[in-house]
Amino acid sequence: MMGELAFEVIDTKAIKVKVSAPLQLTSSLSHFEVNSLCHLTIDSIEKIADEHHQILWGTPTSTDCHFLLGQTVKVTPVQTFKGYKIAKSAIFEFENQNFIALKNDNALSVVPIVLMGANESDFIFTTESDIEGKQVLVSSVSILQGSLLSLGAE
């Protein structure tokens, strides 16, 4: 039709990526990676959650991101937090909470932790306790767990 819009040109810098992320991740997210050359900064987070997910909007940080309108891409979330890495054998569960055991002089104390991730041999965790420079029990942890559960008591 005469006078109607025939087409519209969208600047590639105007393309935004819509990401649905679990609620528990959104507060500690730093950015997203599409690949080694393409990262997305988080522009905004929608205030309404959809069940256990929240919508985030990201913008490419470089010209190495080549997106097409309507394209679906897989992104990797990158979190920023102060955490620790420890052998998987050091973590134990007690009353639905994860713990590690610290050596204090000649005694052990248990410290609650929050698991954030894992690789083949280690867990990555955070804790509100100051554990910097402390020794952690990494073997015979099941004996401590059994003692806390009063197993083997007469």
Q: What is the pLDDT of residue 101?
A: 84
- DSSP result, 105-122: TTEEEEEEEEEEEE-SSE
Cα–Cα dist 151/132, whole Å:
31
| All domains in the chain, ordered by first residue | 15-79 (no CATH), 84-148 (2.40.420.20)
Spatial contact of 17 and 33, defined as CB atoms under 8 Å apart: no
The structure's pTM equals 0.58
- Chain segment 112-124, per-residue pLDDT in tens: 999 888 888 899 9
pLDDT band per the 50, 70, 90 thresholds, residue 10: confident
